[in-house]
């Protein structure tokens, strides 16, 4: 066992961030459902347990609950927001029911200086109920100006009303480190992605019986490339059948370029040209979810033809997807269907192998480095499976794709020339199915719009738009309008995630 922190998820949108923060401190961390069996939690021998926040009220009959005492008997417990209220309530404190939730910054006063020089602290809160009175043997640690109880401790228990895991809370990581060192007696973590490489390889060897084979569909992106190299190093290339499909939805020159890289990595790779199949199936489809489903179906038909003697199908599922599927209330609405785990049709008759399911996106890059992957692959911007189809709004056809491809290629050319490519998480063009009026030369033009998108991010879960210089945007706009026929206007997308998503569809 990796001896780390277990976070029990009571439904907070920040649960995954708690796991991230512990990993950044060098501790292995894992998110489990709030009602995970006690035996399983015990068997993992955690250093500490964290009860996450959540949208429910502890006072509601149907809210997610479990015995805090049972958990404390396994390891010290940190309660955050809902977790804190659950602890206070079960230990004999009183909660005050709120009619609405309170969001935003707050300033708290520490009664006891648990972090040197931390007397006042700006913290981020998002809570409904509050604690009216503490359990009799609890010690008050901090309050805000209105005397709201914002932190307390008890034997083997620490609890915060605010969220130390979000970056808006100043020095939040110090509070998590304090929990690790003072409550869990672990002053330093020694977990890193490099250190688990061998573990991942051993797990794959154990999971896939000798003589059985894995089918691996590569997208040209980091996740699937790292998955394929990891599987090949574990099982040998001859037991990992890789394919790279030309969907006709790739960027300019991408099929040839990526296939060459895969060959240089000694993968057992086959290129499959299926442009016509995809474009035929997509004809007239404009709804984004329908596009994804249609593309998914064509992929499955190709897989069926190509996977022949394989018993396993690999998927580059990452940890955020796994966490999302654990939440007590789920995340509610499906934002985009790619976020769902386990979308594999049953009739494929293949077992699923997901070697990266414990890792965050930036950790996948670190693992790739530890596996010896070329920087050329590791630094590639993420590219969605449905490719340009979800960047060509409305119905997709070869004419629209060609316009988008030309604009996108100019954009990437400019990014590389200005040394900006590696400073940006993802940059792409979106072709809008709208026409606007312009003047080109002496005549009126009536042509489509290209929207330029560039975001910075750590793992695609949240993102900020990139602040290009005016010169860069001016030059880019000029080149696209002049060099791409069919485009008469260029706009720059200044929407973060949230409230937007990175892709437009």
The answer to whether 56 and 9 are in contact (CB under 8 A) is no
- Cα gap 124→53, rounded to integer Å: 13
Gap between the Cα atoms of 104 and 108, Å rounded: 13
384 near ligand XMP, rule: CB under 6 A: yes
Contact window for ligand XMP (CB under 6 A) among 35-43, 124-132, 362-370, 495-503: 495-503
The one catalytic residue in 30, 163, 254, 414 is 163
* 225 Cβ contact list (under 8 Å, min separation 6): 218, 262, 265, 368, 373, 377
Please state the separation of Cα 190 from the chain's center in Å. Answer: 23
List of E strands, 370-497: 426-440, 443-456, 464-465, 487-492
How far is residue 93's CA from residue 134's CA, in Å, rounded to a whole number? 4
Q: How many residues does the chain have?
A: 505
Q: Examine residue 336 and tell whether it contacts ligand XMP (CB under 6 A).
A: yes
Question: How buried is 333 (Cβ within 10 angstroms: 0-12 exposed, 13-18 middle, 19+ buried)?
Answer: exposed
392 catalytic? Reply is: no
Cβ at position 312, least distance to ligand XMP in Å: 20
Q: Count of residues binding ligand XMP (CB under 6 A)?
A: 13
Q: Is 503 in the site for ligand XMP (CB under 6 A)?
A: yes
Q: Pick from 225, 501, 224, 453: which is nearest to 339 by CA?
A: 501
Active site residue 163: yes
Q: Is 391 in the site for ligand XMP (CB under 6 A)?
A: no
Q: Taking CB under 6 A as the rule, does residue 460 contact ligand XMP? A: yes
Specify the stretch interacting with ligand XMP by CB under 6 A; choose among 199-207, 229-237, 369-377, 496-504. 496-504
State the minimum distance, in angstroms, from the CB of residue 292 to ligand XMP: 5
Q: How far apart are CA 43 and CA 395, in angstroms?
A: 52
Gap between the Cα atoms of 180 and 187, Å rounded: 7
Q: How far is the CB of 245 from ligand XMP (least distance, A)?
A: 13
Helix (H, G, I), strand (E, B) or coil at 436: strand
Other beta carbons within 10 angstroms of residue 135's beta carbon come to 17
Interaction pattern, residues 128-147, with ligand XMP; x per rule: CB under 6 A: --------------------
**Shortest Cβ 385–ligand XMP spacing (Å):** 3
Asked whether 495 and 453 are in contact (CB, 8 A), the reply is: no
Q: Among residues 102, 81, 86, 82, which one has the least CA distance to residue 162?
A: 81
For ligand XMP, give the closer residue by CB, 141 or 430: 430
Q: Does 386 bind ligand XMP (CB under 6 A)?
A: yes
Q: And the tokens for 451? A: 């929207």
Give the residue with the Cβ less far from ligand XMP, 368 or 384: 384
CB of 2 to ligand XMP, least distance (A): 27
Instruction: Give CA angle at 326 (325, 331), nearest 5°.
Output: 55
Active-site annotation holder among 165, 254, 324, 363: 165
Q: Does residue 275 carry a catalytic annotation?
A: no
Q: Map residues 290-309 to x or -, x wherever contact with ligand XMP holds by CB under 6 A.
A: --x-----------------
382 contacts ligand XMP (rule: CB under 6 A): yes
CB closer to ligand XMP out of 90 and 495: 495
From 1-9, 119-127, 384-392, 466-474, span contacting ligand XMP (CB under 6 A): 384-392
Of 137-145, 305-313, 382-390, 431-439, the segment contacting ligand XMP by CB under 6 A is 382-390
Applying CB under 6 A, among 111, 338, 351, 357 the residue interacting with ligand XMP is: 338
Judged by the rule CB under 6 A, the positions of this chain that interact with ligand XMP are 292, 336, 338, 382, 384-386, 426, 460, 497, 501-503
What residues are annotated to the active site? 81, 163, 165
């Amino acid at each position: 066992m990796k001896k780390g922190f277990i976070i029990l998820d009571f439904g907070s949108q920040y649960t995954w961030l708690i796991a991230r923060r512990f990993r950044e401190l060098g501790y292995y961390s894992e998110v489990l459902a709030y009602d995970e069996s006690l035996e399983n939690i015990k068997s993992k021998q955690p250093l500490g347990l964290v009860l996450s926040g959540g949208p429910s009220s502890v006072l509601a009959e149907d809210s997610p609950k479990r015995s805090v005492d049972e958990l404390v008997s396994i390891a010290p417990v940190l309660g955050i927001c809902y977790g804190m209220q659950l602890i206070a309530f079960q230990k004999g404190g009183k909660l005050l029911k709120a009619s609405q939730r309170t969001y935003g910054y707050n300033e708290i006063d520490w009664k006891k200086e648990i972090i040197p020089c931390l007397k006042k602290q700006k913290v981020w809160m998002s809570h409904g109920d509050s604690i009216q009175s503490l359990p009799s043997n609890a010690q008050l640690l901090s309050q805000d100006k209105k005397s709201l109880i914002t932190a307390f401790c008890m034997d083997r228990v620490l609890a915060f009303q605010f969220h130390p895991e979000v970056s808006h809370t100043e020095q939040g990581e110090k509070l998590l480190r304090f929990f690790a060192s003072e409550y869990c007696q672990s002053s330093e973590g020694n977990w890193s992605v490099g250190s688990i490489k061998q573990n991942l390889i051993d797990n794959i060897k154990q999971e896939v019986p000798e003589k059985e084979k894995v089918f691996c569909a590569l997208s040209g992106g980091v996740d699937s490339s790292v998955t394929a190299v990891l599987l090949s190093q574990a099982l040998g290339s001859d037991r990992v059948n890789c394919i790279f499909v030309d969907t006709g939805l790739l960027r300019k020159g991408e099929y040839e370029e990526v296939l060459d890289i895969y060959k240089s990595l000694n993968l057992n790779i086959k290129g499959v040209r299926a442009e016509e199949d995809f474009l035929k199936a997509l004809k007239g489809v404009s709804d984004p979810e329908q596009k994804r489903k249609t593309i998914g179906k064509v992929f499955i038909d190709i897989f069926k033809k190509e996977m022949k003697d394989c018993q396993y199908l690999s998927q580059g599922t990452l940890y955020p997807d796994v966490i999302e599927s654990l939440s007590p209330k789920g995340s509610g609405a499906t934002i985009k269907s790619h976020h769902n785990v386990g979308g594999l049709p049953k009739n494929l008759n293949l077992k699923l192998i997901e070697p990266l399911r414990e890792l965050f996106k930036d950790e996948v890059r670190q693992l790739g480095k530890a596996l010896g992957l070329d920087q050329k692959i590791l630094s590639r911007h993420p590219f969605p499976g449905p490719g340009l189809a979800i960047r060509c709004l409305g119905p997709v056809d070869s004419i629209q794709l060609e316009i988008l491809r030309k604009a996108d290629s100019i954009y990437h050319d400019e990014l590389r020339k200005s040394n900006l490519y590696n400073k940006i998480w993802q940059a792409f063009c979106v072709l809008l199915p709208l026409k606007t009026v312009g003047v080109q030369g002496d005549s009126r033009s009536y042509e489509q719009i290209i929207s330029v998108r560039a975001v910075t991010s750590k793992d695609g879960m949240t993102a900020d738009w990139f602040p290009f210089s005016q010169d860069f945007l001016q030059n880019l706009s000029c080149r696209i309008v002049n060099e791409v026929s069919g485009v008469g206007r260029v706009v720059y997308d200044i929407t973060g995630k949230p409230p937007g998503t990175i892709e437009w569809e």
